[in-house]
Structure 1
Amino acid sequence: MVTVTSAFPQDGEFRTLEEIHAAALERLPRDAAVYLESGAGTEQTLRANREAFTRWVIKPKPMTGVGDPKTNTEFLGISLSVPVLTAPFGGDALFARDGHLAVARANAATGIASIVPEVGSFSWEQVAEAAPSAARIAQLHPFDSFDASAERIKAAGYDALCVTVDCPIMGFRTRNRMERFRFDPVVWAGNVIHDCSPNVASTYGSKIVPAWTWDQLAEATARHQMPWIAKGILTPEVAEAAIGAGASAILVSNHGGRQIDPSPASLDMLPAIAAQVAGRVPVLLDSGLRTGGDVFLALALGASAVVIGRLAAYGLAAAGEHGVRRTVELLTEELHILMTLAGIPDIGSLTAAAVAPRP
């Protein structure tokens, strides 16, 4: 389990997201920090995710009369104070003892929502009980336990599913291998322990079946009559297949650079995917987001909202619930400032007209 200090600073001590990142790396043991920061292969995708944001600029638009832009929005009927959700990153107790319990409580305090993981330190039920107003979407994999998991999720009061489609097996994560990465499997076992399974590795191994098809996923999701997000989409063709299978939303993602390397940066693929989707379902983006400016660019290029993984984990490692809450507050503050300077009165008005390729 987590070995970071319990003497977390109060949120007011952090003035920037960079400070939160630095505090997280200072507090984490080396192996947990490497796990958090690393990607697959030679980490070309990991770097590309950040570099993609440098290829765009925000166009200033003064004298518009915009003084207090509205950052609130709605996604799948869920009200958000800012177009941000937290990602279903696993192993959350590596970063703070309360893991996704703390993330969900912070999200409830700031008015955003959690995507709660299947392979996390706490069960879907535990997170829903800790913060029912934030625990709105539950993530799961197309394992042979899909039906049982979906029934548990529905009974716990979640509004939607998030199905990870790009991870039938784990990517070749070079740095993790070089570090001889080993953690107590209990940090991934919140939902396994709930099922009273004695051995985490063998239990997850038994759930994994030969890779599903879109037809199989369409049948499985239709049985449960819940909106669902297809997570891990990187091409217009696959986005179309997901919509054909009944997806209620598309999450453009390369798993934070942790699956295929080299792979396209998520932001690079967003405009083409958004064009293909053409407003039929909402489009989300994750991978590479680090600032409020990144959020602005993603929204301008076609995302309805963004999903933050490492940013939320940095906040969690830096100061638990306080750190996650402060992360969301700083993202919101920066987005609000940029919308003011770009003359954008509300999220619905934030379009591609507000950005341009870097000259």
Structure 2
Amino acid sequence: MRALHETARKTLDPVRYDYVAGGAGEERVLADNERAFDRYALLPRVLRGSGTRDTSAALPGAPRTAPVLVAPTAFHRLVHRDGERATARAAAAEGAVLVTGTAATTAVRDVVAAAREAAPDPAVWFQLYPHPRREVTAALVRRAEDAGCTALVVTVDSPVFGRHTRDLRNGFTDLPPGYAAENMRGLPGTGPDALTDIPMSPAARWPDLTETLRGTSLPVLLKGVLHPDDARLAVEHGAAGVIVSNHGGRQCDAVPAALDCLPAVAGAVAGRVPVLLDGGVRRGSDVAVALALGAAAAGVGRPVVWGLAAEGETGVRRVLAALREEYDHTLALCGGRRNADLTADMVVRKGGTW
């Protein structure tokens, strides 16, 4: 994983590298997402194992998938010419959910088509920023449905665009010529070329979610939930899942690490819908900690982009395969046969005891 990151850093233009690597403000949350996993340790159980393990997870629109999914990240063609197509093929081949998004440099219909080249029935979710104009939101939902996406992921932690210090320093505010947020192309009152033209809605409220839910037959997950009361509201409003996330440290630089919010959110949801997590996941043992603390699966963002930048589709497959294999190995070492065997009593703070 580190080798792919280093290769990507050396390969990419520094401005493009900073766009992917950077976070909001002073990047405190960006760093804390990874540090959070170092604050926890696994407390294995013994003499409970099995020669074989079932690590599949059941998620909305993905009844049997790997517990590691590809979190939504923007503009993959900035780091590799094949962009989201390569990512889609790799995720499908590795049996992982791909969350493609509003800010993709490949249209969602082409992303799904690429995934189907690698697997007959891939799970591709569409990440959606609520638009201030409801007809634009509805049009994006229709594009995702028509493409064959199996779920929607509504990002709710982005009422305004985050202040990315590195991008401001580098003057990186527009996509280079030949690149665009392809899912925004041709929609009323939108432009696909400026980074800040990706739609954000500072006035979005719970009734807007209700309207989105009514306008689609797809399951809808909410991404960017940190407060347990919001998790309860999400379930009450009909969300099919909740994703604990601080946007990879790219929005508010004063929030907790995503992992630190997971137990309270999982407790509030109380098993009524799946809870997922992204932010700071870098190794298979991180996935195990997240699942033990209540997640049904964990998303990875930047590592996938580093793999794509370094080796294209092969690099993405290497990242996903490594995480899946490391997770399976950790599960075995913890005495587990399936994901549910990892429980909260098997996680302690570093230096603590059971």
Whether TM-score is above 0.5 comes out as yes
Q: Sequence identity, in percent?
A: 39
Other-structure match for 1:68: 52
Give the deviation of 1:135 after TM superposition: 4.6
Q: Which moved more, 1:342-351 or 1:70-79?
A: 70-79
Distance in 2 of aligned mates of 1:93 and 1:247: 31
Aligned partners of 1:176, 1:204: CA distance in 2, in Å? 11
Aligned partner of 2:125 in structure 1 is: 137
Q: C-alpha displacement at 1:232, in angstroms?
A: 0.6
Aligned residue identity for 1:106: A
Match of 2:148 among 153, 157, 179: 157
Q: How many residues align?
A: 343
What are the within-5 Å matches in structure 2 for residues 181-330 of structure 1? Answer: 181-182=172-173, 183-184=175-176, 187-193=179-185, 199-201=191-193, 205=197, 208-330=200-322
Asked if 2 retains the 8 angstrom alpha-carbon contact of 1:252 and 1:270, the reply is yes
Select 2:169's aligned residue among 166, 178, 187: 178
What is the CA-CA distance between 1:196 and the residue it aligns to? 9.8
Change (3 A) 1:290 1:330: same
Per-residue CA shift, 1:140-197, capped at 9, x if unaligned?
A: 1111211111112111111111111111211111122112224317544211336599
Task: Pick which of 188-197 and 158-167 moved more.
Answer: 188-197
SS at match of 2:281: coil
1:312 Cα deviation from its structure 2 partner:
1.0
Whether the 8 Å CA contact 1:197–1:203 is kept in 2: the answer is no
1: CA distance between counterparts of 2:278 and 2:344? 18
User: Tell me, what secondary structure is at the counterpart of 1:153?
Assistant: helix
Q: Which amino acid aligns with 1:136?
A: V
Structure 2 residue identity aligned to 1:64: R
Please state if 1:351 is matched with 2:343. Answer: yes
Residues 198-238 of structure 1, C-alpha deviations (whole Å, 9 max, x = no match): 94258975955552111122122212232101011011011
Q: What does residue 36 of structure 1 align with?
A: 20
Taking only aligned residues, the RMSD between alpha carbons, in angstroms, comes to 2.1
Give secondary structure in 2 for the equivalent of 1:200. coil
Are positions 1:96 and 2:88 aligned together?
no
Cα distance, 1:80 vs structure 2? 4.2
Q: More deviation in 119-128 or 214-223? A: 214-223
Which segment is superposed worse, 211-220 or 189-198? 189-198
Runs of 5+ consecutive residues of structure 2 not aligned to the other structure:
none
Identify if the C-alpha distance between structure 1 residues 334 and 243 changes in structure 2 by more than 3 Å, giving closer, same or farther. same
Match of 1:84 among 68, 73, 93: 68
Could you tell me how far 1:136 is from its partner in structure 2? 2.3
C-alpha distance 202-187 of structure 1, shift in aligned 2 (>3 A): closer
Per-residue deviation at 1:354?
Answer: 2.4
The 1-side partners of 2:14 and 2:68 are apart by 29
Worse-matched range after superposition: 175-184 or 104-113: 175-184
Shift in CA distance, 276/156, structure 1 to aligned 2, threshold 3 Å:
same
Q: Is the 8 A contact 1:43 1:262 kept in 2?
A: no
| Pairwise CA distance, 1:81 | 4.4
1: distance between equivalents of 2:260 and 2:171?
33
In structure 2, the partner of 1:45 is 29
Secondary structure at 2:238 match in 1: coil
CA deviation vs aligned residue, 1:312-355 (integer Å, no higher than 9, x gap): 11111111110000111100111111111110111122211322
Correspondent of 1:146 among 133, 137, 144: 137
Cα distance in 2 between the residues matched to 1:89 and 1:246: 25
User: What is the TM-score with the length of structure 2 in the denominator?
Assistant: 0.91
CA 1:103 to 1:274, structure 2 compared with 1: closer, same or farther past 3 Å? same
Query: Which residue pairs with 2:327 in the alignment?
Result: 335
Cα distance in 1 for partners of 2:62, 2:37 equals 27
Amino acid at match of 1:254: N
Structure 1 unaligned segments of length 5 or more: list them. Answer: 1-16
Please tell me the residue identity of whatever aligns with 2:237.
A
What residue in structure 1 maps to residue 2 of structure 2?
A: 18
The question of whether the paired residues in 2 share the 8 Å contact of 1:120 and 1:187 is answered with no
Instruction: Determine the C-alpha separation between the residues in 2 that align with 1:350 and 1:157.
Output: 33
Q: Deviations over 1:45-98 (max 9, x none)?
A: 011111111111112334334333222222114144420111121111111111
Distance 1:228 1:221 in 2: 7
